[in-house]
Amino acid sequence: MSESVTKAVPKRSGFEKFIRGVEIVGNKFPHPFWLFVLLSLLVMGLSAWFAQKGTSVTYLVAKAGEAPKETTVAVVNLLSYESMRQFLADFVKTYMNFAPLGLILTMMLGIGLVEQTGMISALMRKTILGAPRALVTAVIALVGINANLASDAGIIFTPVIAAAVFKALGRNPWVGIAAGYAAASGGFTANLMVAGTDALLAGITRSAIEGVPNLPANVPVHPLINWYFMIAATFVLTFLTVFVTERYTVRLLGDDEAGHDAEELKKHAVTPAENRGLFCALLALVAYVALIVWLTYPQGSLFRAPDGSLLPKSPLLSSVMPLLFFLFFFVGVAYGLGAGVIRKGEDIPKLMQKGIVGSTGFMVVVLPASFFVALFRMSRFDTVLSVSGADWLKSMNLGGVPLLLLFILLVTFLNLFMMSGSAKWLILAPIFVPMFAQVGFSPALTQVAYRIGDSTTNIITPLSYYLPVIIGLLEQYRKDSDPEVGIGTVISMAMPYTIFYVLGFTALLVAWYLLGLPLGPGTPVSI
């Protein structure tokens, strides 16, 4: 009789099963391009069905100087001849006039120039490498959080530099990778500057408020609507990153600080040419800010409103996009000239052209996304859902803080399955911005609540585009005593950061909301 030997299979933990389930579900999602195509078809089919049923809502419309009047809006059948003729006639205009498209392209032309000249890389390295040893973790966190100025490039750049710096200081490079990756990925809702993400999300928000009932016509929606909150969040997130790194990550991974490797630091040192470029960029920045102040401060100046005010509405706020573009343009050109990257006039448009290449994927996805938003609005689902949803929320007495918390939790969950922040906001904004406006939330408040949920779980989703990069980086610094590197390694390192980021961000937003502080220039939390 022969004996059969069976090898015991290790039993998976509940968390491992959950992570595997997230991975399987997320992989079932189609590419964002096809996702919006399917959503558009779904909206068209549902519009025909609900229109046939006669679905409608009735609400009060209040106009200045007039008594509120009842208005009834019914779902429009998008498959009717009239609707299809309108859709086809406006096909090109719908795409070209989609607000996020122009905003992100304009912003990326300016930021792309700064990035392609090498200024962002040089500034980050100079900041991190020049930090005192005791403050290295805090500086890495601060630089990583602000690295979204360079869009996704910062998510790769920050952990790479952090690992090199930690190794050179004799610390465990895995700890630097964890801190850099967490700060750069989880920090998309925090920044001292205004980045392309701000312009992109604000453009989507602007498109979502068109035609919203009872929403003031002059409600501010611009790239700076969350800026004040983002500045405060930068320092909160920096503190949390340092706290988690030194309190939990060091304990988890070990950090013996065995030796110091000065040669490793030299590999990333800022060159004399880069130093000259940074000095020239600083001069350009000071000169540009002085010019804007000169054009803003005196009464009757270019950027003041006719009544002399700056808030809540003025030429200064309506000119935010061109002002930001010229800021990045002049600073980028100054750096390029100082560093010797720009030697002739032709170099400037070539660098801008390279910078905008990264936006081509967004331009493709925006095609069906713009049609989805337009069809959603044509069907009048935006009004029907916002009024019905607001009535439902009011009947539950679920407003204020509980509603904010529920929305943040919803987005954190969705982010595990759908990484693209702009794609999710294109879907959620037309529904939740009008709905929450009906219960008094300003578009700026809804947008910042979305951004909190969207950014904090970036580092624990197994669908992240950057997981292979981080795994490879960990493998590069792996010692024989270290465990095998895999998805679970990264997620286990990142989980404490996500927990503290969610709690810290949410607590900050709740305090902000309760105190009624403006989220940005001229942007209150309530309407």
236 near 505, Cβ under 8 Å? yes
| 38 within a domain of the structure (yes/no) | no
| 227 within a domain of the structure (yes/no) | yes
Question: Total domain count for the chain?
Answer: 1
Share of the chain above pLDDT 90, in %: 25
Place of tokens 């967490």: 182
Q: Residue 186's pLDDT is what?
A: 77
Q: Residue 419's pLDDT is what?
A: 62
pLDDT at 174 over 80: yes
Q: Residue 7's pLDDT is what?
A: 41
For the stretch 470-520, pLDDT in tens is 777 787 777 776 667 777 778 888 888 999 999 999 999 999 999 999 999
Q: Residue 374's pLDDT is what?
A: 86
pLDDT at 62 over 50: no
Please state, in angstroms and as integers, the Cα–Cα distance from residue 101 to each residue in 107, 111, 163, 271, following that order: 10, 15, 36, 37
94 near 374, Cβ under 8 Å? yes
For the stretch 175-186, pLDDT in tens is 988 999 999 887
Within 13 Å, how many C-alpha atoms sit on residue 326's CB side?
A: 9
Mean pLDDT of the chain: 80
Structure tokens at 248: 């939990």
Q: Residue 425's pLDDT is what?
A: 81
Query: Which domain does 206 fall in, by range?
Result: 71-515
| 34 within a domain of the structure (yes/no) | no
pLDDT bin (cut points 50, 70, 90) of residue 292 is very high
For the stretch 136-168, pLDDT in tens is 888 889 988 887 665 566 677 778 778 877 876
What's the mean pLDDT in 197-202? 82
Range list of H helices, 54-135: 81-89, 91-96, 99-116, 119-129
What's the mean pLDDT in 401-415? 85
Structure tokens at 69: 């009047």
What's the mean pLDDT in 112-137? 77
Question: pLDDT: is 328 or 390 the higher one?
Answer: 328
Question: pLDDT: is 84 or 60 the higher one?
Answer: 84
- Spatial CB neighbours of 255, under 8 Å, sequence gap ≥ 6: 171, 172, 175
Q: Residue 454's pLDDT is what?
A: 86
At residue 488, what is the residue type? Answer: G
pLDDT bin (cut points 50, 70, 90) of residue 413 is confident
Q: Residue 11's pLDDT is what?
A: 56
Question: pLDDT: is 97 or 463 the higher one?
Answer: 97
Q: Residue 156's pLDDT is what?
A: 73
| 6 within a domain of the structure (yes/no) | no
pLDDT bin (cut points 50, 70, 90) of residue 278 is very high
What's the mean pLDDT in 197-214? 77
Beta carbons within 10 angstroms of residue 13's beta carbon? 10
| 30 within a domain of the structure (yes/no) | no
Q: Residue 456's pLDDT is what?
A: 87
Q: Residue 294's pLDDT is what?
A: 94
| 25 within a domain of the structure (yes/no) | no
For every residue of 415-478, DSSP letters joined together read: HTT---HHHHHHHHHHHHHHHHHTTTB-HHHHHHHHHHHHHHTTTT-TT-TTHHHHHHHHHHT-
Identify whether 312 is preceded by a cis peptide bond (ω within 30 of 0). yes
Distance between CA atoms of residues 139 and 128, nearest Å: 6
What's the mean pLDDT in 378-399? 72
Lowest mean pLDDT among 126-130, 244-248, 496-500, 509-513: 126-130
| 16 within a domain of the structure (yes/no) | no
What's the mean pLDDT in 61-80? 71
Place of tokens 């912003």: 107
pLDDT at 235 over 70: yes
pLDDT at 439 over 60: yes
| 52 within a domain of the structure (yes/no) | no
Closest by Cα among 89, 55, 382 to 215: 382
pLDDT at 231 over 80: yes
Q: Residue 213's pLDDT is what?
A: 63
